[in-house]
Each structure stands twice: as structure tokens, then as C-alpha cells.
Structure 1
Amino acid sequence: MGKIKTINIVLLIMLLLGYNTLHSQTLQGVVVNEQNTFLNNVSVILKSNENKTIAYRFTGADGSFSFTDLEAKEYLLQCNSLGYEKQLITIDLSKEKTKKINIILIEKPEELQEVIIEVPVALKQKKDTVTYNVKSFLDGTEYTVEDLLKKLPGIQVDENGTIKVGNQEIEKIMVEGDDFFEKGYKILSKNMPVKPLKEVELLQNYSNNKHLKGIENSDKVALNLKLEDDAKRQWFGNFDAGYGVASENRYTAYSNLMNFGKKDKYYFLTNLNNIGDDSTGDISHLIRSSNDFVVGDDQMAQQFLSLAPSTASLRDNRTNFNNAEMLSLNSIFTLSAKSKLKAIAFLNTNEQNFYRNSYDWFSDGQTSFENKEDYFMRQKRLSAFGKLDLTHDFSKKSTLEVTTRYNYADNKDRSTINFNDNNLEERLKTTTNFVDSKILYTTKPSDKKVWILAGRFINEATPQNYTVNQFVYQDLFKRDADAVKQNSANTMHFYGFEAKYLDRRPKGHLLEFATGAEFRNDDLNTTFYLIDNQAEIRPDDFQNNLKFQNYSYYTSLNYSYRLWNNFRIASSVKLNYLSQKIEGQQEVKKNDPFLLTPSLNFTWEINNKNKLQAGYNYNMKTNNLLNMYPNYLHTGFRNFTTGYTDFVKFANHSSSLMYSFGNFSDRFFMSAMAGYGFSDEYFSSQTILAQNYTVSTPIVLKDQSMIYYNLNTDYYFKPIKTNMKIVFGGTSSQYQNYVNESDIRDITSTSINYGMELRSGFSGIFNYHFGTKWDYNKFETTNVFDYTNNRTFVNLNFRFSKKLYAVLQSERYYFGNLSQNKKDFYFSDLNIDYRPNEKISLRFAVNNIFNTDTFVSYSLTDISISETNYKLIPRYALLRAEFRF
């Protein structure tokens, strides 16, 4: 019996070895022309002797291709490329485990017809475009574009709606090739229904300026949504409304109306809700959006005071007590064959309530104390935004773009604080007026040369009025008072001009030259009052009235040298002359520094799967308004800050290394990044820390450093139709500061996060999506403090029929260092969706099934430990109905 068992095992091993031998052949090759130059993007098709397509590849930058896991037999190999004769080669893999071949394509003067191979797969890649077949990733639980993008391999959507490919945030989301929102794409991704989508295109090496395509070295990525044919050139959309059932008053209503014609495109949307949904994302990306760095992109007026509290690390529908209304009207008009006008109008109002209780323990190693706060805040916000963007093509090689943006914002914040048994009320009113006009002219004197001329004007004013009805600063001011108030205003004017020239040289080299001038004037006025028996007292050291001028003249030169077909070195240098002047109440200071900023980067496309990038930058910078005001500012309850008293010049060093393996069409894709930064000198702080106030003054210290790293992997388990994502990243920084009467404090801050997700793609009744993420944080000063938090989620999707769906989402949060016995919190939500036909959907939703009413989080700084208790939106049930037309 034992012999028979042994023989069976031996036979099984031989069978497996034989199977592995039959299915482990590898074919590798390189395609070149008659001049022995590598040919990329050549279509290489592997066929059986019966002329059946088995697999296909496109050659990489080095002309290479490979096929693995092949049977040991004969194949036909077909190579196609426009301008070359088609090659058909017989390949015999029965005698060699790994076969390497070189293929020479012969030029053919007549134009060949394009060979198109339709492969019924969920994802395919052609040149710089990855195309996702939308139907292959739908399971019936998606409502918006954002829901779909979360399921596409290679694309990450974080909790705020930011969309990244690897470590790179996307530039925009287009619809049928046209862009409405630029970097404000969250308005579209969070609202546009997924129903009309046919394909999602991921565009790599993307150029925002069409004249730069094929000239600039771009690592940008963008998305393009392609619609079903029956959704083009006609009005369509949806209306979705819901109301609370057997729960306190909850409602939601939103609508999309769209028409994406060949000439004109329209996208109108509105959203009203009080269930915590954030339908806009960070609208500052819409207001100040720019996809390419154009002179003035980084300019904005400073707001020094904010009452916005820290919020829990939960989804908005758990903590966001809101009452939001949003309307957005967006149109693209084709005025003529050469002119296009883009018009956007956006109105958003929101009333938000925040509830929290906090316990904070402060220590500088010698003095320690505790603070307790019961905090309630209500914010009322109004934002109106308009944009006109006119584009005119003088010719196929010359374009003028004129853009004007206007934003008005009115924010009214009110908070009630019980601070160590003292009841206080804060009021803050902030008004913003923002005007931005930009003109951009692009011309191509030849196919490989481009001139870009840009001019810009920005005007922004941000007045703020703040009051608090109690006085707790007796120790700071050495007197009593009844209340305090502060009026502040910062008005900024900016003018800029830039000329840029790009020249794509022979052999792929690129020369870039830019020169420009920027003129910025800031007018800052702050007045701080102590209110005592209705008398207004103005302490001398708490008033600011200054004008800050910063004139910059710069020239930069970049040269990218292609050493081989797949290896590029890029060097650059920027020369910047500044003329700075600050006019205070009693003195005038001037500064005329000369700044030098060199950098060196290289990119090595090792083959069609491996890519390596590295770079070094040396950056010099000097003061700005944010650290130059001479006297103290009230920057929030208990907080006062002041600026530095003189001009300084800092030098920063940074280096990075990035590696990627695979393509988005592969089952395995990985991107990794690591970097190091060092500052010879930097702004740190000298803080007076007391129970009722903190006063922070900037100081200049030496030697600050930081290390950061990140890893993202995607792997698709084909046998079980499951995609796995693994993330790992962190930072470690070293710096110094002073607190109270302490000696200089050496601080090391470490943050590490890691986790994984699994998402299935079954065609049956059941699908799952679950994952876990751990966050570790540590501060090392005279003592060592650390903590570890965890979030785990399990989402179960049930498709009982083509008409009935159910989704159960569950989460667990764990905080390891909470002082209380309860350290974990559980949440669950249920959605049931019934779709009697293609146009109607009925939905029943229950939020916060366990009715968890509070949430406690734990956090650290180098001087404090905080435990914060947040009030959560209670359980509610919602009946919703959607109509599509």
C-alpha cells in the first residue's frame, strides 16, 4: 500500500513538472529598423498555426517585447507598424525554454492601413492610453463617477475624493474630450451619474496645452469619460430625491441635466441635502484651478484667523451636520470653427454644525497642565463663483486663451465654548473678493518649437472681524477686561508676465527657456482691542499696519538630454532676483537677494515594464508676508503669533527616487517612492505655553531633515476574480524648538501607515470589498509618546436579480491609547436598491444602524496629548427615488 502511495506521488510530481515544462516557455524579442534604431509602439501579435490570436503586445521604448507561460510548440509572430512592411515569422518553442529573437522591419513608402485588433477585455492599453470598459467593473452599487473610479485598477480615490494614479494626482476629468472644471474635478466625479458611461480613458504623459503634445516631457495624467452612443447629442440626466422615515428630519435632492453635443456641451447640476454629503469637494480647486504652472498660480491673500475645528477622521455622513444647497451651470459653446467659449456659474450655501468635547494634556518637560473644552460651532457660508474662458485658434499652430474668474465668499462663524468652566462665545465674519484675469498665447513656429506668452492680474481682499465675549488673558496682559475683538484686512495686488520657449531637438533632446517678472503688493492692517467697561484699549504690541512689496525677476533654463532611446537626463537652473520692501509704522526695511535654484533629474525606462526616476533639487527662498508682520496677531482662541523681525534667506535640499513596475493592463502593477529633504536653516518657533494662552514667535534654527516613502501595489487574482491593493508609507522628520524656559528641544516625529484591500469582481449574486489600514505615530523629545490607530471595513454587495441590489457597509475604528475602557467603535450602513426598469430606481437606506452617538479619537504633538469626543449624526432611515431621462 505504501509503495502504491509513493508511486502515485512520484507520478503526480512528474505530471506537474511536465505541465510546468509545457507551459513555461518564454519568447523575448527586440524590434529595430534597418538603421538598427529601436522601434516603440510596434504591434506584436502571437498566433497559433491555425491563425488564432493568442496574445498581443506593444513594444517599449527600447523596442522590446516578451510573452511568458507559453506551450512548447510552434507559433506565428506578426509585427505591424505604420510605414513598415508587415513581418510574419514562424517561431518554434518546442526545443528552447527561453527564445530570444531580433526583428528588423523594412520601411515601406506607401501608407499602410491601420490594423485594429478588438480584444474583449475589461482593460486594454494602446500607447499612452489605458481604456477601461465600464461594464466590466459595474456591480449595480455605483451611482456616481466617483463610485466607479474607486473600482478601477491603478486608480486610487481617497476619502476626500482626490483621484490619483500611483503617486500622481490627475489633472482633470474630461467628458468626450472637453473639460469643465480643471482641478475642481470633484464637482463632476461626486455628482455625475455613472449610467451613461461607456469607457473611461486614462491618458498618460498628458499635455494640458495641445501645442505641447509630443514636445514637452510630461508625467501628467488625466481622465476622459466616453459616453454610450445613445447619450450623445441629446438631453439626458436624472433626478434623485429622498426623505427621512421614522427618524428626525432628513432629506436629499439632487439633479443632473446634460447634453454633450458635437459643438456645444452643457452640464447643469444641483444638490440639496442635510445628510452630510459633500457634493463639491474643496471648491478652492475650482476657484484657483490651473493645470499648468502659469505665472501667478501660487498667489493668494492671507487669512490669519479661522474657527474651523479639527474634525473626526470619519466619512462626512457621520459627523457633518449640514444644510447645503449647490447649483452649478456649466456650458461650452463652439462659436466658430476656431473659437470656443467656456462659461461656469457656481453658487453654494452651507450651514454646518460641529460638536466636540476635548481633553488636552500639555507638557514642556517641566511645566504641565490640563484643559477641558465643550465646543459647539455653527458656520454659515456663501460662495458665488463665475468663470469665462475664451479660446481662439488663429491657425493650427497658434492659440489665444483669455480667462477671467471672480469669487465672492461670505462666511459667518459662531462658537460656544465651555473652557475649564468658563463660558465664552466667539464670532468671526470673513469676506473674500477675488478677481483673476489671465491671458495665454501659444504659437509653434515649427513642429518642434513652441513659444508661450502669459500675463496675469490678481486682486484679492480678505477682511475679517473677530470678537470673544470673555477675557481669560489676565496673565498675558497683566490686567482685567470684559472682552476682546480684532479687525484685520489683507489686500493683495499681483501683476505678472512670463515668456517661455520649448525646442525639441534632434535625438529627443529638449531645451526649455523661460523669463518673467512678478510684482506683488500686500497691505495688512490688524487692530486688536481689549474691551473694558465699553472702552476700547489698543495694546501697542498687538497692532499691525504694514505694506509689503515683493518684486521678482527670474530666468530659468532647462535641458533634457536623451542619452539613449530609453534614458533621459534633465538639468535645470533658475536665477531669481528679488526686490523686497516692508513699510511699517516707524521703519522701512529693504532686501535685494539673488536666489539660485538648480536641479538634476533622470528617467530610465529599463524596459516596457520597469521605469526608474530620480532627482535632486536645491532651492533658495526668503521671507513672505506670512512671517514678516512685526507685532502680535490673534489667530484663534488662546493663540497669538508674531512674525520675524528681519529678512532671511534659506537653502533647502531635496532628493527623490521613484520606481514603477508593470503597466495598468497587467495583473501586477507597483509604484514606489522615497525621498529625503534637508534645510540648512529654517523657521522654527519659540512658544510661551500657558493654560489660558499660547504665544508663538518664529526663530531661525539650523539643520532640519525629513525622510518620506510610499509604496502602492495592485495585483489581480484571476482565478478568484479579486483585485488586491497594498499600501505602505511614512515620514520621519527631525527639528528643534523652544517651549517656555526650556533649552533647545530635539524632536523626532515619525508617522507610518500600512494596509491592504481586497475587492472581488464576480458576476454572480455576491461581491465583497474589505480592507484594513494601520496608522502609527511617535514623537520623541525628552520623553517618547506614540500611538497606533486602525480602521477596518467590510462591504458586502448582493445582487439578487437584475432589479434588486443590497449593500451592507461596516467599519471598525480602534484607538490604542485612549484612557477610557472603550477603544473601538463600530458603524454599519444598509442600502437596498430596487430598479423596476432602466429609468426608475427605488432605494431604502439606513445610516448608522448601531446608532453610535459619539466617537473618540486620540492624537499627539510634541507638547500635547489630546482625546477628542465628537458628536455623530444619529441613526436615520431614508426612502429615495431616482428617475433617469
Structure 2
Amino acid sequence: MGRIKHLIKIVIVAAVLLLGKAAVAQSIQGVVKNQEATALDNVSVIVKNSDNKTITYAFTKNNGSFTFENLEKQIYTLQINTLGYEKQILTVDLTQESNKKIEVVLTVKEELLEEIIIEHVAPIREKNDTIVFNVKAFADGTENVVEDLLKKIPGVQVSENGTVKVGNQEIEKIMIEGDDFFEKGYKLLSKNMPVRPLKTVELLKNYSNNKHLKGIENSDKVALNLTLEDDAKREWFGNVDAGYGVVSENRYTVRGNLMNFSKKSKYYFLTNLNNLGEDATGDIGHLIRSSNDYVVGDNQSSNKYLSLAPSTASLRDNRTNFNNAELLSLNSIFTLNPNTKLKAIAFLNANEQNYFRDSFDSFSDGNTQFENTENYKMRQKQFSVFGKLDLTHDFSKKATLEVSTRYNYNTNKDASNIDFNAENLEERLKTNTNYFDTKAVYTVKPTDKKVWILAGRFISEETPQNYGVNQFVYQDLFNTNAQAVKQTSNDKMNFVGFEAKFLDRRPNGHLLEFNLGSEFRHDNLNTHFALIENNSEVFPEDFQNQMKFQNNNLYANLSYAYQFSEAFRLVPNIKLNYFNQELTSYNDTKKYNPILINPGLGFNWDINRKNKLQGSYSFNWQTNDFMNMNPNYIHTGFRSFSLGYADFTKFANHNANLGYTYGNWSDRFLASAFVGYSFADSYFSSKSDLTQNYSLSEPIVLNDRDMIFYNATIDYYFKFMKTNLKLNFGGNTSHFQNYVNDSDIRNITSNGIDYGFELRSGFNGLFNYHVGSKWNYSEFKTNYKVDYTNNRSFVNLTFRFSKKLFATLRNERYYFGGLSEGKKDFYFSDFNINYNMNDKIQFEFMVNNIFNNDTFTSYSITDISVSQTNYKLISRYALLKISYRFK
């Protein structure tokens, strides 16, 4: 905790210094008008210093005003320019006064001249709800794919797994020239599309997935749109990268992109093959089940109870992911006529992954203690085929029909070998998935301020699983000497849903939203667990499940947004649900018909241009989930069995949150803070029976669980250093209870705190750096306390020797506070050097894992155990790669 206090002090001192500097800084305020005294908006105002270097810029607002703050005490030149008016150049002296107010009058050009006007392209431009980032201003030539570029754009955060967020909110999609290929599966694009043809990145605020809702709904969604250079439009272009190991074990990578973006058709074909550990797809589940319009039926899926894939180390994929990936994706968008557009996607992915780890777990509940050791090796073979057709037809400018159909077939074959406490076990698991989803959405806009949306959806999914293990370690549980066990399971799910939604933007700015819908879901689950004894199968009675579950949900949602002023909005809402549920287990049938009322209240307050406050409160009822209702045990792993809560129930939850934002995307200083509180009157906890060879768990209803979560981020750009600083602080505290091994109720408090910083330079010369550090503190309190602090630090250095030659050195340090002395630190370094022969050909030589670390150890805790896990790492290799860009 000492590091936390020290970091807080640093943040407070930095904030005081920054605010103190802002208090004495100079400013320029002005307004731009024409000769008729009419205010002019969207006029470019550029501020230059005495060396004629651009310091900052802005565009005038609707009232013609502009403001520049935090300027130094010196003489500046202002260039004011807009189409159709003579350009004005003014000198502003801030050496004698700290706040300068000016009025600029532009005169109309009296004659048209055939001339070429070369204008300065600002790094960041803002107009209405769109912020435009000029790619050349943020790219330094070291970027390969879109994801690399996004990491360098202010306000945009890219996580280790490729999730893109603006502030604390994940984006909806990444479009190309206004068209969307992958919706929430945008990682497929960001991890593969080359940076070279990009001209700008547009950040779309207050984004609406349905074009007819723009200007009507109160949206806080964000999306990105990529625009291309003119020479990349209407022509086939792309690139091919190919690399192979040099004086090292067999390593290879091949990546190709082929694109054409014309007005009538857009094509994006990509392929990626590698065994370098690189994840080419992100989470493809977001592509298969993606839905950006949140219509009826989102997030519906069948249940899978078994998975052999272990948790992975908190390292980049190219350290621990022993893979052999093959990806092919064919994506097209056709404009059949001015009113009709067809999107077709075909996706083929095959991957073989190997996992290697050793673990040591120490269990203690205060009374019972034991230790387990595992040596785990697993191979997973995956094969997935996905197809999608989207048809969009505009009957008129105010009526649109969207029809979407998706199909996915996926098969996983898992094989693991486990040395468990010196006894060898072999597991086998095969999982198949057949998924079909079709939906239709009709939108009609009878007036400019009213919208009707009618949607229907059908989903069918089946997920059979076959599991077996060749050893029997459950003698104490079953009182028999079987030789092996196996389990088959299958959940067949069908879903049908309909919904009607109405939005009405009133003349006074208020917004009425109302939707009415019906959802029907039917599940048929069968699980059969068998003991193999002398080549015969024995089926323990308490370990078989045969269930049918029907859930019909009729619902109505109503909200009314009171727009008290342009700056303040209050939104009360209420949700009504009527459930008609039926659960049949063998010949026993239960029914449940609750009516649930869920009220809520939210507000948004734009205090001024820089300060924004928003908050909400909701009271929600939740019913028991089908996946948690199995009356008998299900085998969920070679040591684990889970029992469901075979009855209906409902829980009440209270949720409140408050968020604050200071600054705008084009500002040098941007900060945000968020705090939330959640309280459950009743909730599902667990009652567990844990032994060395097996564990039994079942849900149990307890009372009074609460959680506090918080996060704060600061972005500040130091002009004199040309460096961007990011500070992050967040965490959570929760209180809950459980039972372990017939204990009395155990009161548990868990605390988690994350904090860190990043510094990224933007020099134009030889050298650039990206450094940072992040600490993770975890703590559990029961009748005793366990805690630890982990740290990850990195120093990435880039050297640009010329326009054609640059090199990058990446360094990482991991520290685990719970490990024994002398084994807490792990260091990694990677190096690559790039040579651009010309605009089309580039060579790259890279070395991964320079120190040739062969293992990595992590440390973690829960309320009942302490774990130490060793992971096998991809050994050092050198790779020579050539990239060819073509038109």
C-alpha cells in the first residue's frame, strides 16, 4: 500500500503544478464576423509563434467564437481563413497582458481567381460530433497494422487483446469509407489491415447504429471510420508479408490483404498464417454473434459446461501461444442500386494451440489444508466456418428494411496430459457448435422527430460435448474402483423474439422512448456421466440430468428524457417484465410466473465546454439462469462437479454510478473519473466441498452483497517535451459470504487496485520512446488476510536513422510480490530493424525473446487458495520478413 500512497502524492503534486501553471497562463478569446456583423462558424484559426511554427489551432463555433488557453507569454501570429473570404493575419502580443480579446471581420472575395490554395492540415480537427485525426501527424513509420496506429491517437486505448476504447467506453465498430464489415468483430480488421493507405481516422461521437435515429436518440456510443488516400480508391491494392526463421527453429508468418473500395462495391480479402503466437482474429465470437443495434435476442447462446483450455499467463501472445493458425476471410459490400446494399462475409479459421504449465496450489479454509501439484500439457485443434449475408433496402429516405442471416459451424478437439500429484491422467474433449441466426429490422420515420422500429429474430444452436478421462481419482466420492470416467452433454436451444420500439423527440427537446416485446426460448439439456468399470458403464443417479426449460418473457420499457436546458438532461425510466417459465426434469415440472418492475433514473450535465457530469441509478430484478438450474451434478473438469439451484428464484439489485469528464479530445489536458456502487439484497454464493482429489460445489442463496468500483484517467500533452502522459488509477472492493467444507458462514472482503502511467514521445528526429509501469494489488480478508502486489514495466525505444531505416527495441519487466526472493523478476526484450527499399518493398529482421527465457512464473490468490503457476515460453527465434505493397 506504500506504493499507492506514493503514487497518489505524485498525482496530487502534478495536478497542483498543472493547475497552477494554467492559472497564470495566457489566453486569447475572439469572435469572427462578416461585414454584415453575422457570426461565421467553422472558420480556421491557426496560432503561430515568432518562428512561424504552428502552436495550436481551432475552428469557430456556431456563434463565431474561438478560445486559446494555456499560452506562453510571447508574441503570436493568428491566421484566420475560410472559403469565400479574404484571409486575415493578425499579431497578438501577450507579453504585456495575459488575456486578449479580439474581434475579426472578414471581407468577401470580390472575384474568383484560378489559383491553388495550399492549406495547413491540422493534426486534429473537430466539427460537430466528428473528430478527425490526420494519420501523418501520428504515424512515424513503425506501424504495420491499424491497431498499431490507434495506440498512438490521443484518447484512444487499445488493450492487450485488441479491444479499442475511447475513454472508458468500447467502440461500436471500425468502418472503412463509411461502410462496416465486421461490427463488434472489428479486431479482425484492426489486427490485419495495413496502415499505409489510410488518410484520416474519424472518431464519431454520439453515434447511432441506425441512421434514422441520428439526431433523435440520446446516444453516447462511439465509432471509428477510416478514410483512404485518393490513390487507394477505385483500384485494387494491398500487401503481402512473408517471414521465415533464421538460424532458429521453424518459425513462419504469412499475411496478405487485398482491397478495392469503389462506390458500387467494396472488397476486403485477408489471410493470415503463422506459428509466432500472433492472434489474427481477436475474439471471433464478437464477429459470429455481433450485433450493434441491440435488437431482440442479443446475447442468446446455448450452454457449454466443459472446457480444457487453461488460464494463460499475463504475457503477450507471442511469448506463450504455441499456435499454428490459418485464417482466410472474404468480405464484400455491393451497392446493387441506389437503395439496396448487400454485404457478404465468408470466414474460415483453423488453429492448433499447445499449452504447457506446471502449477502448485495450496488450499486452506482455516481447518482443512492440502496441496496439489500439476504438470499440464494440452493440445487444442479448432476449426470454424462462418458465413453472413446482410441485405439493406431503403424503400424511401424514411423507411429501411435490414435482413441479416448468419451461420457458424465450429469444432474443438482437446487432448490433455496431466501429472496430478505424480499420477498421470489423459483427458479428451470434443465440442461441436451449430449456430444459425436470422433477423429482420424495419425502420420507418413518419416525421423528422418520430421513429418506429419493428424487429423479429430466430436463433437455433446446438452444442454437443463428449468428454473422457482415462484414470479414476474419485474413490472417496463414489466408493468404487472404476478405471475411467466419461460424460456426454448436449444443449439444444431455440429462440424466437419480436419487438416494437417508438422514439419521439418533442419540440421542447424531450425524448420519449417506448418498446414492447416478447421473447420465447426453449432449451433441451441432457448430460450423462458414467464410471467405466471392467469395460462396463455405471451411471451414478445423482450425476445425470435430463431437463427442458421454457421461458416466455413479455416486456415493456418506457423512458422520458427531460431536456431542461441544452446542458442538463434528466431521464427517468421503468421496465416491466412478465415471465412464464417452466422447468421439467424427468417427470417433475415446475412453473413460475413473476411480474417484475425495474425503475431507474439517469442524468447528463454539461456544466460548461470542458466539464461534464453524468450519473444513474437502477433497481433491477433478476431471475435464476437456466445454466444454473441443473438438479444433479455436472462434470465441469477432471476434479470439479457442479450442482444447480433447481428451483425458480429472483434477486433484487441496486446499482448507482457517477462519472466526470474534464476537457475535450482536441485539448492538451483530458481527465475522467468514474465511481460505482452495487448492492444485492440476495445473491447466489457457493457451498463447496473441497478435497485433494475432487470438488463439489452448489449455489446457495445469501443476503447482502455489495461492491464499490472506481477508475480515473488523465491524459496530458507536454508541448516542450512533445510527450503525452497517461495516468490511470482504478479498483474495486467487494463484500460477500460463502461456505466451505461444512464451515460456518465465511465473511470475505476482496480488494483490487490497479494504477500506473505511460509516457509516449512524438519527436520528429532520430529517437522516440514509450515507457510505462502498472501495479496490481490484490487482497482477500477472511479470518486471515493474504495479499500481493504485481508490477509490469516496459521501455520501448524507436530509432529512425533515415527515412528508409529504423529500429525498435522493446523491453519488459514483470514482478510478482508473492513469489520467493530471487524469483520475483522476469525480463524480456525483443528487437526488430526495418529497411524500406522503396515505396513497395520493405525488409524486416526481428529477434523475439532475446534473453531466451524458457519459463515464466505467476502468483495469484483467492479466498481459499494460493497458486503459483509456471508457463513454458516460446524460445528465442530470429525471423527475416519481406513485405510487398502493390496496387
TM-score (norm 2): 0.91
Q: Deviations over 1:361-395 (max 9, x none)?
A: 01111101000000000000001000000000001
Q: CA deviation at 1:76?
A: 9.4
2:395 aligns with: 394
2:12 aligns with: none
1:804 paired to 2:821: no
Distance, in Å, in 2 between the alignment partners of 1:259 and 1:820 is 57
Distance, in Å, in 2 between the alignment partners of 1:21 and 1:451 is 49
Contact 1:64 1:607 in 2 (8 A): no
Q: CA deviation at 1:126?
A: 1.6
Distance, in Å, in 1 between the alignment partners of 2:775 and 2:487 is 42
SS of match in other structure, 2:299: coil
Q: CA deviation at 1:507?
A: 2.4
Contact 2:493 2:522 in 1 (8 A): yes
1:184 aligns with: 185
Q: How does 1:719-868 map to 2 (within 5 A)?
A: 719-819=720-820, 821-868=822-869
The one-letter amino acid paired with 2:794 is F
Distance, in Å, in 1 between the alignment partners of 2:329 and 2:252 is 20
Q: CA deviation at 1:78?
A: 8.3
The one-letter amino acid paired with 1:350 is N
1:576 aligns with: 577
Distance, in Å, in 2 between the alignment partners of 1:372 and 1:71 is 67
Distance, in Å, in 2 between the alignment partners of 1:707 and 1:103 is 51
Distance, in Å, in 1 between the alignment partners of 2:208 and 2:778 is 39
- With 174-183 and 90-99 compared, the bigger mean Cα shift is at 90-99
Q: How does 1:298-447 map to 2 (within 5 A)?
A: 298-447=299-448
Distance, in Å, in 1 between the alignment partners of 2:189 and 2:554 is 38
Contact 1:64 1:608 in 2 (8 A): no
Contact 1:43 1:56 in 2 (8 A): no
1:605 paired to 2:606: yes
The one-letter amino acid paired with 2:423 is N
2:883 aligns with: 882
Distance, in Å, in 2 between the alignment partners of 1:524 and 1:721 is 60
Q: Deviations over 1:238-264 (max 9, x none)?
A: 111111111111111110000011110
1:530 aligns with: 531
Contact 2:241 2:255 in 1 (8 A): yes
2:211 aligns with: 210
The one-letter amino acid paired with 1:775 is N
1:276 paired to 2:311: no
Contact 2:73 2:98 in 1 (8 A): no
Distance, in Å, in 2 between the alignment partners of 1:319 and 1:76 is 54
Contact 1:722 1:760 in 2 (8 A): yes
Distance, in Å, in 2 between the alignment partners of 1:569 and 1:63 is 30
Q: CA deviation at 1:471?
A: 0.5
Compared CA separation, residues 705 and 23, structure 1 to 2 (3 A): closer
Distance, in Å, in 1 between the alignment partners of 2:625 and 2:507 is 42
1:656 aligns with: 657
Q: CA deviation at 1:97?
A: 5.3
The one-letter amino acid paired with 2:225 is N
Compared CA separation, residues 791 and 552, structure 1 to 2 (3 A): same
1:260 aligns with: 261
Q: What is the root-mean-square deviation in Å for CA atoms of aligned residues?
A: 3.0
Q: CA deviation at 1:469?
A: 0.5
The one-letter amino acid paired with 2:825 is D
The one-letter amino acid paired with 2:368 is T
- With 616-625 and 374-383 compared, the bigger mean Cα shift is at 616-625
Distance, in Å, in 2 between the alignment partners of 1:424 and 1:506 is 70
Name the % identity: 65
- With 307-316 and 52-61 compared, the bigger mean Cα shift is at 52-61
Contact 2:42 2:62 in 1 (8 A): no
Contact 1:40 1:58 in 2 (8 A): no
Compared CA separation, residues 569 and 99, structure 1 to 2 (3 A): farther
1:127 aligns with: 128
Q: CA deviation at 1:93?
A: 8.7
Distance, in Å, in 2 between the alignment partners of 1:253 and 1:515 is 50
1:545 paired to 2:546: yes
SS of match in other structure, 2:348: strand
Distance, in Å, in 1 between the alignment partners of 2:25 and 2:483 is 84
1:142 aligns with: 143
Distance, in Å, in 1 between the alignment partners of 2:615 and 2:23 is 41
Distance, in Å, in 1 between the alignment partners of 2:432 and 2:695 is 27
- With 135-144 and 225-234 compared, the bigger mean Cα shift is at 135-144
Q: Deviations over 1:20-59 (max 9, x none)?
A: 9999554568999xxxxxx9977585899x9x99976457
Compared CA separation, residues 213 and 177, structure 1 to 2 (3 A): same
Q: Deviations over 1:214-273 (max 9, x none)?
A: 111111111111111101000000111111111111111110000011110000000111
1:228 aligns with: 229
Compared CA separation, residues 55 and 384, structure 1 to 2 (3 A): closer
Q: CA deviation at 1:308?
A: 1.0
TM-score (norm 1): 0.91
Distance, in Å, in 1 between the alignment partners of 2:352 and 2:467 is 19
1:171 aligns with: 172
Contact 2:75 2:91 in 1 (8 A): no
SS of match in other structure, 1:828: strand
**Aligned residues between the structures:** 849
SS of match in other structure, 1:720: coil
Compared CA separation, residues 101 and 414, structure 1 to 2 (3 A): same
Structure 2 unaligned segments of length 5 or more: list them.
1-20, 34-38, 106-116
Distance, in Å, in 2 between the alignment partners of 1:93 and 1:856 is 58
Distance, in Å, in 2 between the alignment partners of 1:100 and 1:229 is 41
SS of match in other structure, 2:212: helix
Q: Deviations over 1:424-480 (max 9, x none)?
A: 000000000000001000010011110000000000000000000000011111222
Q: CA deviation at 1:90?
A: 13
2:624 aligns with: 623
SS of match in other structure, 1:743: coil
Distance, in Å, in 2 between the alignment partners of 1:21 and 1:537 is 77
1:514 paired to 2:515: yes
Contact 1:172 1:179 in 2 (8 A): yes
SS of match in other structure, 2:564: strand
1:593 paired to 2:565: no
Q: CA deviation at 1:156?
A: 0.4
Compared CA separation, residues 80 and 863, structure 1 to 2 (3 A): same
Q: Deviations over 1:309-354 (max 9, x none)?
A: 0100000000000011000000001111100000000000000000
1:17 aligns with: none
2:17 aligns with: none
Distance, in Å, in 1 between the alignment partners of 2:562 and 2:276 is 55
The one-letter amino acid paired with 2:725 is M
Q: Deviations over 1:172-193 (max 9, x none)?
A: 0001111100000000000001
Contact 1:611 1:659 in 2 (8 A): yes
SS of match in other structure, 1:508: coil
Contact 2:846 2:880 in 1 (8 A): yes
Contact 1:22 1:72 in 2 (8 A): no
Compared CA separation, residues 776 and 74, structure 1 to 2 (3 A): closer
Contact 1:165 1:221 in 2 (8 A): yes
Compared CA separation, residues 358 and 60, structure 1 to 2 (3 A): farther
